[in-house]
Amino acid sequence: MSRVVLATSDLAFEQRVRSAFNGELNGELQRWLDADVLVSDPHGSAQHLLSLESDVVVFGPDVDPDDALGVAREFDRTHPEVSVIMVAEATPRLLEQALHAGVRGILAPEATDAALRSEFMTAAAVAQDRRAARPPAAALVPSRPSSVITVIAPKGGSGKTLLASNLAVELARVHPGEVVLVDLDLQFGDITNALSLMPSHGMGDLVDTVGDLDAATVKVFLTRRGDDLFVLCAPDDPAQGEVVTPERVEQALRLLAGEFRYIVVDTAAGLTEHTLSALELSTDFVLVCDLAVASVRGLRKVMGALDQLEMTKQRRHVVLNRADSNVGLNVAEVASTIGCKIDVKVSSARAVPLSMNQGVPIVEAAPRSPVAKQLTELTSLFADVPTKKKGRRS
């Protein structure tokens, strides 16, 4: 059990909590209440509670809900990894206020021991997950200006997610802890499947955060993949993706760019408002198409649109996926149509859809395959990639 601090002067409530846990909490439970500080200085109260190394803060039944909400808002703004519980009657008005203040749960004063224990355990688990997802501070200081690499394609099925996921994994192998992958296909993003992730948080949580975002808040919403890579996942529910605003996306990307060396952004097909927000902040575009005529013509239109939007300062890297397909077009014809050279050609391979279905990037599943080497070639456009040792699986 995590460390729990009871903000209450109600000794009977403390005894109830200890009884509910059958004495299991021992030194993990503390009680604190300075009513004057709580009322007059929410920030000072939050800082004091943090000094007690609390993971869960519980405002007892004797604490005025407005005072508790004031401190809860301070936690939500500066330390969202701390779970806050209020003991109060859950009126509709209080439920709405608590939601906006980041309160984890409201416990009825007459709640049973079983309900009390369940609420505390859930809050503690959330706090532990959020702390684990928070990257180490030492890993968050980029040694050089950040690169924001946005992967775009005119049509779905061109291979954006394949490229974005493998690029991020390879960059993280070279620069562990300095790479974050953002799934900006907010309705049908597939990064979680491509990397076999089970996120607790993601882009959808940006909607529930009141006011301006800060770096600490965004980092709590990241999902960790191993020790090297962080991922900001798309919502599970497409409807939730619809309410994520381009302004929120821009805020999140700016904050991540201040913390990580590489930000790789996977996008929805075409040029959505959210994609345009990412493109505005990008240092590099990875433009993707395959040998289908519609895909090639679509890419030409995308590049024309970028010119019209005066997005010409960013470096452009063109990737031709399934470049060895025998469908009537060749590489030279594609380059001529889009008016730009092809930087990386990626071959077709049965191992590619297999790796996507298994949730293991092909640069890890088959690192010596031609496709993996071609994807490593893409990575080398952004970082010096050391040769992998024989037999190593990154």
158, 104: one domain: no
Q: What per-residue confidence (pLDDT) applies to 135? A: 58
168, 294: one domain: yes
Flag whether 104 is in a domain.
yes
Q: What per-residue confidence (pLDDT) applies to 317? A: 95
Q: What per-residue confidence (pLDDT) applies to 275? A: 93
Q: What is the CATH number of the domain that holds 114?
A: 3.40.50.2300
Contact 110, 224 (CB under 8 A): no
Three-state SS at 248 = helix
User: CA 373, 376, 378, 380 torsion: positive or negative?
Assistant: negative
Among 133, 156, 175, which residue terminates a domain? 133
pTM of the full predicted structure? 0.65
Our count of domains for the chain comes to: 2
Task: Write the CB contacts of 45 (distance below 8 Å, at least 6 apart in sequence).
Answer: 7, 34, 37, 38, 71, 74
Q: What per-residue confidence (pLDDT) applies to 394? A: 38
Which residues of the chain have a pLDDT value below 50? 137-143, 390-394
Q: What is the CATH number of the domain that holds 312?
A: 3.40.50.300
Q: What per-residue confidence (pLDDT) applies to 300? A: 93
Q: What per-residue confidence (pLDDT) applies to 138? A: 44
Could you tell me the strand order of the sheet in which 83-87 lies?
Answer: 29-32, 4-7, 56-59, 83-87, 105-107
Q: What per-residue confidence (pLDDT) applies to 141? A: 44
Three-state SS at 121 = helix
- Domain with 107, as residue range(s), is 4-133
217, 177: one domain: yes
Measured distance CA(169)–CA(179) in Å, rounded: 8
276, 337: one domain: yes
213, 352: one domain: yes
70, 210: one domain: no
